């Protein structure tokens, strides 16, 4: 999905990694500002997941149209190389790796986030045996609508590890990640992926139809319980797999090695990158000294400079050009890590490299490949992800849109804060603000909304949520649940939660709003129906596919009662498309096709043959038609 370069942070005197995402893989909008906002949003979501099995992100942004991440630099080996070097992988190692991955998946699914592209190259085993999961959120960045194809004509993800429902529709839920985990476990134990074929499409079709050989046919030493667990993870229907990562971990525990009390063994060198070590020697000190970072390429100037050498692979690169001002990555060198190996060449600053804070100024040239034992990717961070882009988050309180989850809400008829300046949200206890005058609490609610709007404009979504979430209980206490001011505040909170991808927290707010507007104006009220649609969308994001399908069906049945001259055509199109795709995801591609065919014809008449929405829907229909014969009837 891109290149990874080893670099040096001059400010904090440490090595870092810079990942450049390939712009040609981005299948969504060509609007670079929109792409950057979406990219930063995904970075914030993943950075908010606190787990040691994820990689720390230090910075993120865009430079001359290319997205970049500055991340923790890891020493170790990715799982693909480990499998190649250790074949066959001891089954105890496979269990230890899977258990650590389960811990990571449990954390990200609770966020809720779906990885979408769990594969051996995205799992690293470090020298101390700990496991890191890489590239969290990257698949979502590459395409905002995961049911659409990327610009290269493929869905985000890797065919060899893609769950049947993801292969068929592009929709992924937590149990899709568990299917990918089953593929990883199978490959570790059997020495090969569960399904292989000459083409990517043929591999996907095998995921839909075939059952892999039992592990025992390749590895008689593998315990039967482990063989059964892998088979359960590779079930075709999501509901037939273990429900959660916690359930998988529970079944792995009896197979894990017991903790030892041998200090000498715990402190012995661990050159084999044994993934059972963290389980046998929990909390043991590192048995080897970390490498001392090399000196910066320049004594001052840009924050990120190139490192002259990598200890892991002994690879060298040349950095040319002067460093820019603080915050500029003046050059990154030594390793562009990819599936073919490490790309080594010369880094030359691009024109104007010292002019923009946070920009990546160097680009690679040259050729060659070599093995490099370093890999990095996106993950959580104790440091702040860069947000001072100057761009709106695209989800402003002052501009509500019905195009999807996270749209902002316009606040009307609320007095502006005194003095015209918003209150500082940091540390503000809105419930403690004293009421005054005939409209108690009016100004502080307005100030909260104004402050949240400002924070959204600065892409500070988490802070905006905190401001609105703290203001809502105080507003309810002062005005009552049904006061218009409280309703406006609740709408703003729900919209901001969606923008921040806090779907679990947004769901009850959306249900309340849908019910409130339906009670006040009837179930066919546009606001009531929009919030009901967002409820279904939230359920879909949370992996509650069957519940989401029920919501969409009920909403479409209600929509059909609206007179044709008052019905929102595009709203109806969306309901039908989501219903069809979820039907395919739960194992009924025939009914999905019967809905998508007429829908495509209607959209072609209404929007034109070459409208992007029509083209994407046509691609989806062709995909389902091409694979439906392979799906279980």
Query: Partners of 6 in the beta sheet?
Result: 17, 333
- What are the DSSP E strand ranges found in 262-380? 304-306, 309-310, 315-316, 318-319, 336-338, 341-343, 346-349, 362-365, 374-375
* Helix residue ranges per DSSP H, 234-370: 245-252, 263-267, 277-280
CA distance 346 to 124: 27
Tell me whether strands 346-349 and 362-365 are parallel, antiparallel or unpaired: antiparallel
Give the H/E segment covering residue 175.
Answer: helix 174-190
CA distance 125 to 133: 9
Q: For the residues of 610-621, what is the DSSP string, one character each? A: T-HHHHHHHHHH
CA distance 2 to 21: 4
CA distance 436 to 438: 7
Candidates 513, 500, 521; CA nearest to 407 is 500
CA distance 615 to 609: 7
Q: C-alpha angle 576/577/579, rounded to 5°? A: 65
117 catalytic per annotation: yes
Candidates 309, 265, 315, 319; CA nearest to 287 is 265
DSSP class of residue 147 equals T
CB 281 within 8 A of CB 260: yes
CB 234 within 8 A of CB 194: yes
Residue 96 CA, distance from chain mean position: 24
Candidates 412, 472, 467, 413; CA nearest to 441 is 472
Q: Which are the contacts of 346, defined by CB distance < 8 A and separation ≥ 6?
A: 317, 318, 319, 320, 333, 364, 365, 366
Candidates 102, 13, 3; CA nearest to 374 is 3
CA distance 42 to 259: 37
Residue among 78, 117, 227, 588 flagged as catalytic: 117
CB 344 within 8 A of CB 368: yes
Q: Please name the residue that has the structure tokens 């967002």.
A: 534
* Helix residue ranges per DSSP H, 422-568: 442-457, 461-479, 484-499, 503-521, 526-541, 545-559
The widest CA-to-CA distance across the chain, in whole angstroms, is: 80
Measured CA distances, 439 to 434, 474, 475, 629 (Å): 12, 14, 11, 65
CA distance 164 to 470: 42
Q: For the residues of 360-374, what is the DSSP string, one character each? A: B-EEEE--------E
CB 273 within 8 A of CB 375: no
Distant-in-sequence contacts of 602-605, Cβ < 8 A, 24+ apart: 602/573, 603/573
Would you please indicate which residues are annotated as catalytic (active-site) residues? 117
């Amino acid at each position: 999905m891109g290149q990874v370069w080893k670099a040096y942070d001059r400010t904090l005197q440490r090595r870092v990694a810079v990942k450049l995402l390939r712009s040609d893989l981005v299948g969504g909008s060509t609007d670079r500002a929109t792409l950057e906002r979406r990219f930063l949003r995904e970075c914030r979501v993943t950075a908010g997941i606190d787990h040691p099995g994820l990689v720390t992100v230090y910075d993120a942004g865009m430079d001359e149209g290319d997205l970049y991440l500055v991340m923790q630099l890891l020493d170790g080996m990715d799982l693909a190389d480990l499998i190649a070097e250790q074949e066959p992988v001891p089954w105890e190692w496979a269990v230890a790796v899977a258990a650590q991955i389960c811990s990571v998946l449990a954390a990200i699914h609770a966020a809720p986030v779906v990885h979408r592209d769990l594969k051996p190259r995205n799992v690293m085993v470090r020298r101390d045996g700990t496991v890191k999961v890489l590239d969290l959120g990257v698949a979502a960045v590459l395409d905002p609508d995961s049911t659409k194809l990327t610009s290269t004509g493929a869905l985000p993800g890797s065919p060899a590890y893609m769950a049947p429902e993801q292969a068929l529709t592009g929709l992924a839920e937590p149990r899709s990640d568990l299917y990918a985990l089953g593929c990883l476990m199978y490959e570790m134990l059997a020495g090969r992926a569960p399904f292989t074929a000459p083409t990517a499409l043929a591999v996907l079709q095998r995921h839909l139809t075939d059952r892999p050989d039992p592990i025992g046919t390749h590895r008689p030493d593998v315990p039967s319980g482990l063989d059964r667990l892998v088979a359960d993870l590779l079930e075709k229907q999501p509901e037939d797999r273990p429900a959660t990562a916690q359930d998988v971990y529970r079944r792995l525990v009896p197979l894990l090695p017991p903790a030892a009390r041998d200090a000498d063994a715990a402190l012995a060198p661990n050159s084999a990158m044994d993934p059972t070590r963290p389980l046998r020697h929990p909390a043991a000190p590192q048995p080897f000294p970390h490498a001392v970072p090399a000196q910066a390429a320049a004594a001052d100037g840009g924050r990120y400079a190139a490192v002259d050498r990598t200890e892991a692979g002994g690879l060298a690169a040349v950095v040319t050009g002067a460093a820019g001002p603080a915050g500029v990555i003046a050059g990154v060198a030594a390793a562009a890590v990819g599936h073919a190996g490490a790309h080594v060449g010369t880094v030359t600053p691009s024109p104007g490299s010292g002019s923009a804070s946070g920009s990546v100024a160097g680009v690679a040239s040259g050729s060659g490949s070599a093995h490099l034992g370093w890999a990095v990717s996106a993950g959580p961070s104790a440091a702040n992800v860069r947000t001072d882009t100057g761009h709106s988050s695209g989800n402003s309180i002052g501009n509500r849109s019905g195009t999807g989850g996270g749209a902002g809400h316009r606040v009307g008829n609320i007095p502006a804060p005194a003095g015209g300046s918003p209150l500082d949200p940091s540390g503000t206890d809105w419930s403690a603000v004293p009421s005054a005058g005939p409209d108690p609490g009016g100004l502080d609610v307005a100030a909260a909304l104004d402050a949240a709007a400002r924070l959204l404009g600065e892409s500070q979504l988490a802070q905006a949520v905190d401001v609105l979430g703290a203001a809502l209980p105080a507003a309810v206490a002062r005005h009552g649940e049904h006061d218009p001011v409280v309703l406006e505040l609740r709408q703003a909170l729900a919209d901001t939660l969606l923008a921040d991808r806090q779907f679990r927290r947004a769901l009850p707010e959306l249900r309340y709003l849908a019910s409130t507007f339906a009670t006040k104006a009837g179930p066919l009220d546009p606001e009531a129906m929009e919030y009901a649609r967002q409820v279904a969308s939230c359920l879909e994001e949370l992996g509650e596919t069957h519940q989401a399908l029920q919501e969409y069906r009920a909403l479409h049945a209600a929509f059909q009662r609206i007179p044709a001259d008052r019905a929102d055509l595009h709203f109806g199109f969306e309901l039908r498309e989501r219903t069809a795709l979820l039907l395919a995801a739960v194992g009924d591609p025939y009914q999905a096709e019967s809905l998508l065919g007429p829908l495509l014809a209607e959209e072609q008449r209404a929007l034109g043959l070459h409208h992007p929405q029509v083209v994407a829907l046509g691609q989806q229909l062709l995909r389902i038609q091409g694979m439906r014969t392979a799906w279980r009837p």
